[in-house]
Chains A and B, each alone.
Chain A
Amino acid sequence: MFYRRAGTLHTRYQDERQLWPFAFDRGLVAVAFAVLLAAPFVFERLYLVTYILPWIIWSTAALGLNLLMGGAGQIHLGYGAVIGIGAYASVHLLRVGVPLEIAMLAGGLMSAAVGSLFGAAALRVKGLYLAMATLAMQYIVDFLISHFEFISGGTQATLQVPPVRFLGVPLSSDGAAYYFALGVCVVVTLFMLNVKRTSFGRALAAVREKDYAAAVIGVDSFRFKLLAFWVSSFIGGVVGSVLAVSYYRAISPDQFHLDLSIQLVAIVIVGGLGSVLGSFFGAALILFAPIVLNHLVGAGAALLGLSISAELRAHLPLMLYGAMIMGFLLWEPLGLAKIYNNARNYLLVWPFRHAR
């Protein structure tokens, strides 16, 4: 009923290659995009600044990590450090007066350079060993940032982001900062949607499944592993500068600790490895479940007139959050994107039970 389809009946190659072959999907994407575009005018500031903006930024970061983890099958536990490098590089450039457009790309390039340096470890080690190598990257970068005062910014170790403009528009208002983040997110999303259809994406898939099998069929796994690290670190670096400019506005070393890396890995896994949509779902769940559960527990206690001790009140949402993540992964190990896909597959043929 919703999708109005029976069978796959393409008569032209263009039809088959479309990103969204169904009119319903296109409509959904258009509605979602329209809502995001209208967000500064529709939603209150609280929701724009503290929910939608971080969601957009964390989703973009998750997309970058997803290219590496879901696309190329390389584990990365140091993505927070990658984001940190981008943030520090671009903020330092902004502070000496480099325009944001250049500083953002330079942040990306800096992250890409350092990220692929550590990614080179991936050429020798795999799986858990690679996880350790990238973890080392996280610690080394943390150490360097907090130990060199010219990087971290003096005894207070906090760098202010100066007022900036992007393409001539000052990013001082909430709306401008939001559109800047949204713009980057859209570019990265389009890239990720399309990358699977390119030879690069297919080569990554081959490397992901078995790197020596990929070598047998003529994919240079050396080159593509490194390229995967390069591209994903570049995205991470750009996200770092978006994060600094439009959300944090002052950066300090503890914003890019292991916590952030783990959070991003969790987003990718809970959302769905290799899924673009999943990155958005995962980011929403991991970022907001603790906050929403906190409010729900608080409101529930107030409603029922229960007096919960402050400590239980603080820990209860965490327990619920943990249970929720376990529940999701038990129910559908392939993540939220797969849950969405199951529902969609069901509706594709509804009210019938099977597709042709």
Chain B
Amino acid sequence: MSVTRRTLLTSAAAAALAAQFRIAPASAQEKVIRFSMPQDFTKIYTFVTAEYNQGQRDYISLVNARGGVNGYTILPDVSDHGNDLPRAIEAYERARSQGAVLVDPLSTPVARALTPRALEDKINLITAFSGRSDAADGTVFPYVFPLSPNYWTQIALLVDYFRQQSGDLKGKKICFVHIDTPFGKEPLPVLKRLQEKLGFELSTFPYTPPGNDQSAIWPQVRRTRPDWIVFWGAGVGQTVALTEAIRNGLPLSKVSSSVWLSESDMDVVGREQASGVLKIEPCASGRTPKLIQQILKDVVEPGKGAGPADKVGTAYYNYGVMLASLMVEGVRQAFAKAPQGPISGSWLNAGLTSITNFDAEGLIPPTTVTREDHQGGGKARIARWDGAKFVPVTDWFSAYSDVVWAVIRESAAEFQKSGK
């Protein structure tokens, strides 16, 4: 084959084109630890993500302003995956190639899709209040960290609170109103086991996603004359459920929900009307906790806050601070174990699994994460909305760990059997 000018030019052009695609390997920037936070700002979770992420970034700004950890600054790499899996996988792979040690997608479908990749690549996947509940079993999911009470733990806490209030649940009626998706149905196995154990009557009422219309369900709930009501959803479904509960005259002091209820939901429902409703609180809310005060003083007041100042101290904002503080504590522990690094996913993993009795200066219950228990003890408290803020009505506690862990182990064992 003779080499003509044309073939030469063509191949030169092709080579030039191909060269565009080769990016330089992640520049080994000195003294930076990369946290990747591709989250859903635009599709479903919107304000939940915005407040959560604001809390995370404000806490990281606080840590960095104080000189970081061991001389390293933490770089939060925030992007939007819009709950779309190809975009989320792109963000995850990009994070991996840039040397991120941790990925926090805050989305159940995304976390589930990324689980096999994270396990294989040894990158810590944070699945707080999302992802697989059975990831609490660290022996099967060594690189997946809920770091927070999963949905099974949350429902067990609620049922135990009902038992404390009613004395005995035998013969009592509990209504479970839930969005008809895998997430909504998730608490059912634990509820059914607790039903056998405690002898209450359980009625379940699924509503179709996304849940803007639940008017057919709630009169039925009222007719069953429940002793306790749990509604389980996210986003718009939560406000609609609460509105319908109020409209049907159900006593809100007997109505409760998971961690997904916040001040922003109350603004939609009406702050006064909603007073009395219960929720699970994984960390203290409001601006009184010491960490939030410090953030206000050192980050928000100097104008370095990541978002509107009036959102500081809302429930979801504090969840963000809670998770960021746990992640940073993981980094601290990792430095304590291996001060010289090398900084990698498995390095941080060692740190995250040695978080012991960490309470973020009173923001969260004392949390101990071990190789076996990735939800950090499964402690939370019940809080009541008093019309202006959430007031805790119990201390930090955990409940029916035996039942919850039986379900976790069964589900994890099934994962292990099929995934490997």
Contact = CB atoms under 8 A, between A and B. Distances in A.
A11 interface: no
B134 A156 contact: yes
Contact of B112 (A50, A250, A311): A250
Contacts of B162: none
A347 to B, nearest CB: 15
Given A156-B182, A250-B113, A50 B84 contact: no
B41 A44 contact: no
Per DSSP, are chain A's interface residues mostly helix, strand or loop, or mixed? helix
B182 A54 contact: no
Which range contains the number of B residues in contact with the other chain? Answer: 35 or more
A248 B113 CA distance: 6
Interface string A43-72: 111110111001000100000000000000
A298 interface: yes
Contacts of B80: 294, 313-314, 317
Main SS of chain B's interface residues?
helix
Given A45-B93, A50-B94, A160 B113 contact: no
Interface in A317-352: 317-318
B85 A248 contact: yes
Interface string A246-262: 01111011110001000
Contacts of B90: 50-51, 291
Interface residues of A, number: 47
B116 interface: yes
Contacts of A255: 85, 109, 113
Interface stretch (B283-291, B327-335, B411-419): B411-419
A302 to B, nearest CB: 12
A58 B84 CA distance: 14
Contacts of A50: 86, 89-90, 93-94
A162 B420 CA distance: 6
Given A42-B18, A157-B182, A255-B113, A54 B86 contact: yes
Nearest to B132: A156
Interface in A101-131: none
B82 interface: yes
Contacts of A247: 89
Interface in A201-258: 247-250, 252-255
Contact of A310 (B54, B84, B113, B185): B54
Interface string B41-84: 11000000010011000000000000000000000001110101
Given A31-B14, A157-B182, A252 B41 contact: no
A266 to B, nearest CB: 13
Contacts of B21: 42-44, 47
Contacts of A45: 93, 97
A197 interface: no
Given A158-B112, A311-B41, 18 more contacts: A31-B10, A42-B21, A49-B89, A50-B94, A95-B418, A155-B182, A155-B411, A156-B411, A158-B132, A160-B418, A249-B116, A250-B115, A253-B182, A255-B85, A255-B109, A290-B82, A291-B90, A315-B41
17 contacts: A44-B22, A46-B93, A152-B182, A154-B414, A155-B411, A156-B415, A158-B132, A160-B116, A248-B113, A252-B182, A255-B85, A291-B87, A291-B90, A310-B53, A310-B306, A317-B80, A318-B42
